[in-house]
Amino acid sequence: MRYAYYPGCSYHGTGKEYESSTHAVAKKLGMELVEIPDWSCCGATAAHGKSHLLNISLPARNLAIAEDMGIMDVTTGCAACYQQLAHANKRMTENKETREKVNKITGKEYKGTLKVKSLVEAIGTIDPELLKAQVVKPLSDLKVAAYYGCLLVRPPEITGFDDPENPMFMDNMMKLAGAQALDWAHKTECCGASLGVSNLDVAVRMINRILKAAVESGADCVVVACPFCHLNLDWHQKSVNKQLGTTYEMPVFYFTELLGLAMGISPDELGLKTHFTDTQKVLSLVG
């Protein structure tokens, strides 16, 4: 399995653990992630507020480079990058006029031959037996609340790989890793995303709702597939506690970190020691 890999901006900063755990897990699974050379910003949440064309052009540039690599599938761990790439891909393949306009802007020829998959889909569609075979330390005592956030599975006409209201891909992966995936209510609620940076007062209320639901479901930890979700739920947990008087100590993991743990990869290699909320409690559960 070869993928043209789009790291996205957070991978060298706030999402470092995601990066290291992704590569570690991919190696175990025999996935080859080839970084797209000279990749640039996906447009994130800023571009579409400014211009519809800019919003397609930014990711389209990366798609054009990826297409030249001769690999059919593109993947990225970040939910927002995935959304941007998948959205641009759909517009570029469906509408010839848009494609021609955007190719002129980027100065690169994207023909529209690629398939964009999120990392959750890429790993989640691997033969379950193959994944199971790599599990050497099943997470038997771990109860996880799989949190997908808003961009990974919606809108379905762009994403289309999992149920938009009750997604199961991460749950199923966690089950394969031996953990108990809980049925809980806030799988796809918004974490506040960039409001965590620009308007924390609003964001803490949104983060609080998710953490509250996770605690009520009896989860030991929350598992995510997006650097921004992780940042908000992990880093801002402190702000929620401070502003709303709560006492959350809920570890938040990337799904690749937990898969990595189950595969016997060392916590250091996965980056588990650089979380804001203490992960020790869960790590001791896993042993």
By the criterion CB under 8 A, which residues form the site for another protein? Answer: 163-166, 185-186, 189, 213, 216
The nearer residue to another protein, 100 or 216, going by C-beta atoms, is 216
Please name every residue paired with 116 in a beta bridge, in sequence order, or none if there are none: 74
**Single-letter code of the amino acid located at 267:** P
Tell me whether residue 100 or residue 165 sits nearer to another protein (CB atom): 165
User: How far is 224 from 12, CA to CA, in rounded Å?
Assistant: 18
Looking at the Cβ atoms of 5 and 148, the one nearer to another protein is 148
Task: For 148, list phi and psi in degrees, rounded to 5.
Answer: -100, -25
Q: How far is the CB of 153 from another protein (least distance, A)?
A: 10
Q: Do 119 and 77 meet the contact criterion of CB atoms below 8 Å apart?
A: yes
- Cβ nearer to another protein, comparing 188 with 277: 188
> Residue 117 CB, nearest distance to another protein (Å)?
22
The least distance separating another protein from the CB of residue 164, rounded to whole angstroms, comes to 7
For 158, residues 6+ apart whose C-beta sits below 8 A from its C-beta are 83, 86, 87, 90
CB of 200 to another protein, least distance (A): 19
Phi/psi region, residue 226 (left: phi>0; alpha: psi -120 to 50; beta: rest), is beta
How far are the Cα atoms of 78, 123, 144, 150 from residue 159, in angstroms, in the given order?
A: 13, 15, 24, 11
CB-side neighbour CA atoms (13 Å) of 92: 33
Shortest reach from residue 67's CB to another protein, in Å: 32
Which lies closer to another protein via its Cβ, residue 163 or residue 268?
163
Instruction: For the CB of residue 185, give the shortest distance to another protein in the complex, in Å.
Output: 3
Nearer to another protein, 25 or 213 (CB): 213
Cβ 11 to another protein shortest distance, Å: 31
CA 18 to chain centre: 8
In sign, the C-alpha dihedral spanning 162, 33, 35, 173 is positive
DSSP 177: T
On whether the CB atoms of residues 188 and 149 are closer than 8 A, the answer is yes
Q: What is the DSSP letter of 226?
A: -
Q: Closer to another protein by CB, 213 or 250: give it.
A: 213
